[in-house]
Structures are given as structure tokens and as C-alpha cells.
Amino acid sequence: MTLILSNDDVAKLLTVEECMAALEPAYVELANGKGVNRTRSDSIVAVRGKPDSVYGLKTMDGIVPSLGVGAVRINSDIISWPKIGNSQRRTKTPAANGRWVGLVLLFSSETGEPLAIMPDGVMQRIRVAAANGIGIKYMARADADDVAIIGSGWQAGTQLMAACAVRKVKRIRCWSPSAENRAKFAAEMTPLLGIEVETMPDAEAALKGAGIVLCSTSSIDPVYFESWLEPGVHLSSIKKAEIDNAALARCDRIALHVHEDKPLHFVEDGADAADAEVEKGWADKSGIDFAKLPTVGDLIGGKAKGREKPEEITAFLNNIGMGYQFAVAGAVVYRKAKEAGVGHELPTDWFTEDVHP
């Protein structure tokens, strides 16, 4: 039987800690040439009648032989780039009857069999946070206990969970442009974490004295700037563009999620909004040779040191997501779903065939 799982199922079955535990050895395997990750591709066309939007069909694949799975993650998005506050955002419109469309398909790499289909939303924020959490584990000061977060959206919650999983966090401060959003976020996260999430009126107040700074926004403009740097801080970003180039250039150590970070773009002529994002989102004027930076696999595997001295300024850039992460997280979810008897079972024959494809 092929399992159809919901986001609620995934939320019950997968914690940030479990995802980190599964990803750590898998990242080392990938760094050692075992398994594969297929670089994300974005296919983009104009949306008829909506000049400010594009349709994006984004896919990424990965195979983890040690877990016996491959995964394809698909996003089918109506995308626009509104200006909110000082930052240009990349937003997805829930145009499918008020809902978004993202799927993970999990296959057996031993038989090819389709094991499960599930939405990507819950898994995706957990795996993003797990990667940044591993970055904190290997790069932040061992005694870092004061966390600042820029952002109060969907990704921000799991980012805090990841930080709390790897450090004894005593204080959390949050800033985001909307007072309403950050208050809502603090109210939601404080009981979940058992640590008060303080809301701050400006970024500087939130950041002052923090040993760990989490950038967790949908901004494609920088949200963290050089003047805010303090000795010993660890900067954690869910995309490269969040940290200003001048701040990046002053970091003593930077590690990346993965080297190959340019998504493959296939863009319809005239779908210009997308080009704007491509140009801005990936512009790099830091002077840093990113190809020489260590990756998360290098940190875990011991090929690179995350930090040697307390006063070093470190940064982890979750520069692009990997289909490989969905295979790892999917394997955990699938195993636990089978054990717990969770999900809709559909005949596997619906998703296989008796003719040679």
C-alpha cells in the first residue's frame, strides 16, 4: 500500500530533534559521495491575467541509499514579490481554493516502489530548521544562551526549536516588522518552548548581546547588517541574501548548507518578475569565495572546524534546500507512520504499472 499522509500526520511523527539526528549521518554520507542530491530546478511562466505573478513549478530530488529511499519534492506555486516594510518579499498565493501546493513523493531505492505521498509544508520547515540547528551545534559558542530572531513567520518557530535543541537557551528576543505578528508569534512559541519569547520594538534592541542570531524571513533583501556585529556571535540564516554582504565579509568562519546553490532556472520569455528575483536573490558582492567554504557535511564529518575561539564571528548560510533532506526526513516519517498505522492507504498498483515506462 502507498501511504497518503497529511501535514498533521507529519507534525505528529517528526520532531526537529529527530530530523537533526537523521540528517547528521546523512549529510556526512553525501559529503563522502554516497547518495545524491539533484539540484533544485525552477520552471517559471507568466500567469495569464496576473501581470505581477508567475507560476513556478519547482522540483528537487534526492536519494539516500543507507535509508533505502529516494524523494521528489514538488512545489506548484503562484508567486509574487510585494514590498513589505523596507524589504521585498517573495510570497506564494494560496490560489488552489485558498490552499498552497507542495508535495513530497517517497520511493524505495531498492525496488522503486512508491512508498508515500505527503504535503511538504510541515516537513519543509522542520528540515530547514534542522540544518540551521546543526549549524548552531557546530558553530555557536558552547555557552551561547541568548537567542535573537529576526522574523516571526512559519519558519521562525522551528528555528527557535532547533536552537533550543542544541544549546541551553535562557533568553529569546524576537523582532519583525509587524508588532502584531511578533506578539502573536511570542504568544504561540512561549508555551511550546517553555522559555519566554520577548518581543522587541527594533532589531538592534533584539540583537544586542545575543550569542545566536537567527534570520528567518522571506526577504530577498538583507535584514542583518554589519553595524550589528558583536564578537562571538553566531549568525544563522535561512537564505544567503538575509545577511548583508559587508557583515558576511567580516565573519571569521562561514559554512554553507551545500556548495551547488544556483537553482536551475527555466524561464518563459517575458516572465520578468522571476528574473528580478533571480538577479537580486543571488547577487553576491561580499568578495567571499563561496566554493571554498565548508558545508554542513564537512562540519559534522570533522573536515572543517565550526569555531575555535569564543570571540570568533561565525555564520551558517542555509543557502539552498536539498531534495536529499526530504528523502531523509521522509524515511523517518514513513517508518514511524507504518509503526503507528497513520495515514490513508491506497493500492500501490494505482501508482505502479505493468508496462515498461
Single out the segment in contact with its own copies by CB under 8 A; choices: 122-130, 142-150, 190-198, 231-239.
122-130
Residue 158 lies near its own copies (rule: CB under 8 A): no
CB of 258 to its own copies, least distance (A): 12
Residue 117 lies near its own copies (rule: CB under 8 A): yes
Long-range contacts of 16-20 (CB under 8 A, 24+ apart): 16/126, 16/129, 16/130, 16/133, 16/158, 16/161, 16/162, 16/165, 17/165, 18/332, 19/126, 19/127, 19/129, 19/130, 19/328, 19/329, 19/332, 20/130, 20/133, 20/134, 20/137, 20/162, 20/165, 20/166
Among 120, 146, 242, 277, binds its own copies (CB under 8 A): 120
Residue 181 lies near its own copies (rule: CB under 8 A): no
Single out the segment in contact with its own copies by CB under 8 A; choices: 90-98, 168-176, 177-185, 283-291.
90-98
**Which of residues 105 and 136 has its CB atom nearest to its own copies in the complex?**
105
CB of 336 to its own copies, least distance (A): 19
Number of residues that bind its own copies (CB under 8 A): 80
Q: What is the end-to-end Cα distance of the chain in Å, rounded? A: 21
Residue 61 lies near its own copies (rule: CB under 8 A): yes
- Is the Cβ–Cβ distance between 250 and 229 less than 8 Å? yes
Residue 178 lies near its own copies (rule: CB under 8 A): no
Residue 19 lies near its own copies (rule: CB under 8 A): no
Closest CA to 76 of 101, 48, 45, 46: 101
Residue 185 lies near its own copies (rule: CB under 8 A): no
CB of 323 to its own copies, least distance (A): 8
**Which of residues 80 and 245 has its CB atom nearest to its own copies in the complex?**
80
Cell numbers 564578537: residue: 231
Alpha helix (H) residue ranges in 282-341: 296-301, 323-340
- Looking only at residues 69 through 88 of this chain, which bind its own copies when binding is defined by CB under 8 A? 70, 72, 74-78
Distance of CA 187 to the CA centre of its chain: 23
Residue 325 lies near its own copies (rule: CB under 8 A): no
**Which of residues 223 and 248 has its CB atom nearest to its own copies in the complex?**
223
**Which of residues 70 and 301 has its CB atom nearest to its own copies in the complex?**
70
**Which of residues 21 and 57 has its CB atom nearest to its own copies in the complex?**
57
Residue 224 lies near its own copies (rule: CB under 8 A): no
Cα angle 355, 36, 78; round to 5: 75
Per DSSP bridges, beta strands 114-119 and 2-4 are parallel
Residue 189 lies near its own copies (rule: CB under 8 A): no
Give the x/- contact pattern for its own copies in 237-276, rule: CB under 8 A: ---------------------------x-xxxxx------
